[in-house]
Structure 1
Amino acid sequence: MTHSADDTIAPDRTVRLLDTTLRDGEQAPGVSLTPDEKVEIARSLERAGVSVVEAGSACTGAGERQAISRVTDLDLDARVTSFCRGMESDIDLALDCDVDGVHLVVPASDRHIEGKVGTSHEDNLEKTAELVAYAKEHDLWVEVIGEDGSRADLDYLVDLNATAVDAGADRICFADTVGHTGPERTAEAVSRLADVGPVSAHTHDDLGLGVANALSAVSAGADLVHCTVNGLGERAGNVALEEVAIALSHVYDVETLDLTELYGLAQTVSRATGVQLPPNKAVIGENAFTHESGIHTDGTLKDDKMYEPYAPETVGRERRLALGKHTGRAGVAATLEEHGVEADEEAIAAIAERVTELGDRGRRVTDADLLAIAEDVTGDDRERVVELLDLNATSGGAVPTASVRLEVDGEERVASGTGSGPVDAAVSAVREALGSMADAELDSYHVDAVTGGTDAVVTVEVTMMRNDRSVTVARSEADITRASVEAMVDALDRLLAADQQPLAPADD
C-alpha cells in the first residue's frame, strides 16, 4: 500500500498506543520509580488497554532489571519491552528480564552516526542488520528506532529502516528525538517509511507539536504511537498518552484504549512520580472541566456541550462549577441547589455579589463559604455542631485571659485560656473547650478597617482548614475579640458538620 502525506485518518483505522512512562517518562529530571511503583503503573496501563508497555532500560543496572522483571512477571496482555542500545550485550540483559520484545535504538542522523557513535553510514547499516538478526534468533519482538530520525537524510532513513525490516524487524519507528520537526516533515517521512514496513511514531513536545506530529504520523500510515502518561519525559516531555487517545477518539472516531481509565491513570502516575498535574493540562488538569465564568456556567447548565468538547465522564472525570470573581447567578443557584438550599432571585443576586467580592480579593470560594454566605443573606439558621454561648476576655493584668462557654452537640462546655492578647487567649479557650475537635488550622486572619463614629464596627474574616477542607467566615462586631471568636467558632462548626464524623468528647 502506498501512503501519501495528505492521507486522512479513517475511523476504521487500527491504531495502538505504546506507553514509555516507565522508561522515557522516568528520564524526566527528578523522577525515579521503585519496582513497586512500576508494577502499580503497569497494572493501570493494562486496565486502560495500552498495547505495549516499555518497562525500562535493562542496561541501566541491576535495580532496573529487577523492576522490569517484576513487570514481566505480571503476565500482562500488553507486550512488555525493554529499551536497548545498539549492542548485543543490551539485548542479553533484556533477555534476562524475560521481556517480550526490545526497542533497538540505532543512530539515524549524520550528527548521531558520525558525531555520537563515530561510525560510517555503511557500517551503521551492517551493524543494525546484525543486531536485529541476533534479537530475532532469541525469539524477541523487535522494533528498530532510528534515533534523531527527524533530522536524518530521508533517503538514508529509508535505507536504514529497510535494512532493519529485511533483517527481520517486526516494525520500525520514526523518532523526533528532540522535538525538532513539524507535521509536514513528519508526514513526509512516515509516508515513506510506511511503504517499508509497519511504522511507529515517537514524538516529543519541545515545540508544543507532540500531538500534531503524532496525528500527522498516523494520517501518513503509522499504526503505533509512543506516548507517556501526563506527557512526562526529558526536557518538555513526550507526547501525552491521554491527549493522543482523546484526539484520535473525538476527532477521528479511532479508539485506542479505555478512555474512562485516563484520569485514574494520570493520578496514579502523578502520585508515583511526585510530578503534579498542571491545572490547565488538557484532559487531566483540574480546570479541564471546571467552569467559573458566569457566561460559561450558564451555558453549561443549559447544555452540557455548550462549552465542553466532550463529556467529562468520557475520560473518567466529573464536571465542576467553581465559585470565584467570574461566577454568575446561574452558577450560584446551581451550587445552592446541589446542597438543597432554597433562595429566591433577590437572595441569589446578593449571594453572587458576595461571592464576587471574595473572588476580587483573590480568594477561592469553597462550597462551605457559599453556604455561610447564603445563610447570612437569607437569614436561615441551621442545626449547629458548635455554638458560642458566652465569652469573657480581660487584658488588664500581666497575662491576658479569656473564658468561653460553648454548646457542643447539645452539651455545654466551659474552658479558659491565656495568650499574648485577648484574641489569642479567647482562641486558646475555644481550643481547650473543643479538645481534639479543634484540630483545624487557621489559614488566614484578616481585619477590615474599623468604621468611624461612636458605633464603630470591625469585621474579622478567618479561613480555617480541616481534613483538606477550608471555609472562610466573616463576622462584624464592635469588639474585635468577639468578632474573631465568633468567626472562628462558626468556621469550625461548618468544618465539623462537613466531616459528618461522630463527635469526640473534650480532652481531660
Structure 2
Amino acid sequence: MKSSPVSKYRPFPSVNLPERQWPNRTLERAPTWCSVDLRDGNQALAQPMNVAEKIEFFELLVAIGFKEIEVGFPSASQIEFDFIRRLIDENRIPADVSIQILCQCREDLITRSLEALQGAKNVIFHLYNSTSPAQRRYVFNAERADIVKIATHAVAFLKEHARPLIAAGTRVRLEYSPESFTSTELDFSLEICEAVTDVWQPSAENKIILNLPATVEYATPNVHADQIEWMCTHLTRRDLTVVSLHTHNDRGTGVAATELALLAGADRVEGTLFGNGERTGNLDIVIVALNLLTHGIDPGLDFSDLNHIRETYERCTRMDVPARQPYAGELVFTAFSGSHQDAIKKSWEKQQPDAPWDVLYIPLDPADIGRSYKAIIRINSQSGKGGVAYILEKEFGLVLPKAMHKEIGKLVNDLADNLKTELTPEQIHEAFLDEYIRRAAPLALGEFLALARGHEVTCQAELFWNGERRLISGVGNGPVAAFVHALGTADLPPFKLLSYTQHSLEQGEESRAVSYVEVKTADGRNCFGAGIDENIERAPLKALVSALNRTLASKS
C-alpha cells in the first residue's frame, strides 16, 4: 500500500472565540443577494459568454429578482467595457438594480472603470487587493503596511475621482475585499478593513460593503463562521457596514460555510446560479435561497420556473447542471428505491392542500419551482412494487389493486434487470399491456350474451381454445359468476375466483372500463388478470380470460 502524503499538510488554525454566538442562532430572514455570474462565473467558462448572451443572462438575473448584479471587470477587456456600456446606454438596468464592477487597487484601472460607468444610476464599485501572508510573501514581497497603503490609496483615489460621476446623479457605493480573507490573519483583516473605512467615511445612507471572501476554501464551515463572527464583533463601525460573503467550494462545503456565516452575522451573499466558478465553483445561490424557502423564509428570489432558468443558464454558459444538483438536477425529485417510492406515494396521497409540506423524501414541493411530478418515481431493477403502481396510476390511470402490486412490480423489475437500464413510463405501460391485456392464447373470448331472469343470470359465450371454437354456457348471480360457471364446463384446469375490481379508465361517454381479477389455481397459485373494454360487462370477462391465460402460461 502506498504511504499517505499526510505529512505535506497541516491543520487549519482555529479561531479563539470562546463566547461565539452563532451556534445558538436561527436564520430568520434572507440576506442581500449579489449575483457574480457575469464576472466571476463568466471568467471561469472555457468559452466566455458573448455580449448578446451576457445581456440575456443579465435579464434573467433581473427577472429572478437580483437587486445587485456584478456585471464585469471593465478595465480588464474591451468586451467587458462594451457590455457595461450597452446596459447603460440601452437603459437595460431597472431603477432598483445596482450594477457592480470589479477593479484592482490601481489608479489606471479605477479611471477606466469610472469611464465605463458614466450614466449609470446605482453603482457598487468593488475594489480588492490580496492580503494573505502567502500573497504578501510570494507575490508582492511586501509588509503589512505596504498592503494597507495599496488599499487606502486606491479608495482615496476612487473617492476623489468619482465625484463627477456622483454629481451627475450616480449613487456610488464602495465594496472592498481583502482577497483571501479566510487565509489572512484576522487582526490584519480587521486592520485593513478599518483603514479603508476610515478613508471612505460611510454613512447610514451609504454604508460600506466589506466583502470577506473565502477565495480558496481551506477550513471547515464552523471555522469560517468563527472568522465572520470575530470580524462582526470587532468592526468599530458595524452599524455602517454591510458584511458580505463570497465563498468558494474547494472542500465541497461552500453552502454550509455560507449558511453558518449568515448565523455569524453576515448581511450579504455573493454567488452564482448553480455554483459556476473557478475550480470547484462559487457558492450556488439557488441552493441557499431554496434552503431558506424550505424553512419558511422568503428568499426574495423567484425560482418558480427553475427549468427555464436552468435551460437559459446551460445555453448561455455551455455548462451542464449535474443530475444530482440540489433542487435543479434532473434526478433530484426521483426515487429509485422501492421503499422510498412506497413512502412517497403514501405520504403524498395524505398531503392536504393547506397543510405544511410533509411528503417523505421530498423536502420541497416540486411544483413550487416549476418541476414536474411526472418524473418523481422512475423505475429500474432496484425499484419496488409501489413505484411501478404509482407510474401506472399517475401516467395511465390504471389503479391496480394493492394485492396486484407485488406481481406487477416483479414483472417490471425483471424486465429492467434484463434490459440493464431504467424503464420509461411508456415501457412500463407496454409491459403491462403485453402481460395482461394483449394475451390472446391459449384462450380468447368471442361473443358473449347474458340474460337476467329474476335473481339469476344465464350466459352463453364463444370461447377459442388454441384457435378451436367452443360454445359454453353457465348460470350465476351476475354475468361474471355465470361466466365462471361456464368456464368450469370447458375442460379447463380448475380455478377459484378470489377478487374482482373495476374502474373507469377515462371520463365521459367514451370512457372505457378496466377490470382486475385474481384467481387461485388447484395447485395453490394466485394470479391476476386485467381487461379493458368499452362495455363495462365485458371488461371483467376479458380480465378473467387474461388471468387464466397467465396461469396456463406459467404452468407450461
Q: TM-score, normalised by structure 1?
A: 0.70
Is 1:127 aligned to residue 150 of structure 2? yes
| 1:343 CA displacement | 6.2
| 1:318 CA displacement | 2.6
The one of 374, 391, 403 equivalent to 1:335 is 391
The residue identity in structure 2 corresponding to 1:124 is I
| 1:315 CA displacement | 2.9
Q: Which residue of 1 aligns with 2:245?
A: 201
Is 1:150 aligned to residue 182 of structure 2? yes
Q: Distance in 2 between matches of 1:276 and 1:97?
A: 32
Q: Which residue of 2 aligns with 1:466?
A: none
Q: Which residue of 1 aligns with 2:423?
A: 365
Structure 1 residues 131 and 84: CA distance shift in structure 2, 3 A = same
| 1:211 CA displacement | 0.9
The more displaced of 339-348 and 239-248 is 339-348
| 1:289 CA displacement | 0.7
Structure 1 residues 160 and 254: CA distance shift in structure 2, 3 A = farther
| 1:379 CA displacement | 1.8
- Any idea what SS the aligned residue of 1:53 has? strand
| 1:117 CA displacement | 3.0
Structure 1 residues 79-478: aligned runs within 5 Å: 79-98=98-117, 100-137=123-160, 138=162, 139=166, 140-168=172-200, 170-195=208-233, 196=235, 197-251=241-295, 253=297, 255-304=299-348, 305-319=359-373, 320-342=376-398, 344-345=400-401, 349-360=406-417, 361-380=419-438
Q: Distance in 2 between matches of 1:78 and 1:357?
A: 56
Note the alpha carbon deviations across 1:24-78, whole angstroms, 9 max, x for none. Answer: 1123251411111111111111122123111121122111212233344411332
Q: Distance in 2 between matches of 1:340 and 1:309?
A: 26
Note the alpha carbon deviations across 1:68-112, whole angstroms, 9 max, x for none. Answer: 333444113321111111112222222233261221111121222
| 1:342 CA displacement | 3.2
Q: Distance in 2 between matches of 1:97 and 1:218?
A: 33
Note the alpha carbon deviations across 1:104-155, whole angstroms, 9 max, x for none. Answer: 1111212223422343321221221222233334142211011111111110
| 1:219 CA displacement | 1.0
Q: Distance in 1 between matches of 2:399 and 2:26?
A: 51
Question: Which ranges in structure 1 are unaligned for 5 or more consecutive residues?
Answer: 382-508
Contact 2:396-2:429 at 8 Å conserved across structures: no
- Alignment length, in residue pairs? 380
The residue identity in structure 1 corresponding to 2:33 is L
Contact 2:30-2:297 at 8 Å conserved across structures: no
The one of 47, 51, 57 equivalent to 1:41 is 57
| 1:167 CA displacement | 1.7
The residue identity in structure 2 corresponding to 1:42 is F
Q: TM-score, normalised by structure 2?
A: 0.64
Is 1:56 aligned to residue 72 of structure 2? yes
Q: Distance in 1 between matches of 2:247 and 2:296?
A: 19
| 1:258 CA displacement | 2.2
- Any idea what SS the aligned residue of 1:342 has? coil
Runs of 4+ in 1 over 6 A off after TM superposition: none
Q: Distance in 1 between matches of 2:127 and 2:181?
A: 14
Contact 2:156-2:199 at 8 Å conserved across structures: yes
Note the alpha carbon deviations across 1:336-368, whole angstroms, 9 max, x for none. Answer: 223334364476544433321232232121122
Q: Which residue of 1 aligns with 2:92?
A: 74
The more displaced of 174-183 and 122-131 is 122-131
Structure 1 residues 9 and 249: CA distance shift in structure 2, 3 A = farther
* Percent identity of paired positions between Structure 1 and Structure 2: 26
Of structures 1 and 2, the one scoring higher in RCO (CA 8 A, sep 6+) is 1
Structure 1 residues 29 and 335: CA distance shift in structure 2, 3 A = same
Q: Distance in 1 between matches of 2:74 and 2:81?
A: 5
- Any idea what SS the aligned residue of 2:213 has? strand
Q: Which residue of 1 aligns with 2:21?
A: 6
Note the alpha carbon deviations across 1:271-310, whole angstroms, 9 max, x for none. Answer: 2111111111111111111122221111111113111122
- Any idea what SS the aligned residue of 1:369 has? helix
Q: Distance in 2 between matches of 1:310 and 1:237?
A: 25
The residue identity in structure 2 corresponding to 1:107 is S
The residue identity in structure 2 corresponding to 1:182 is T
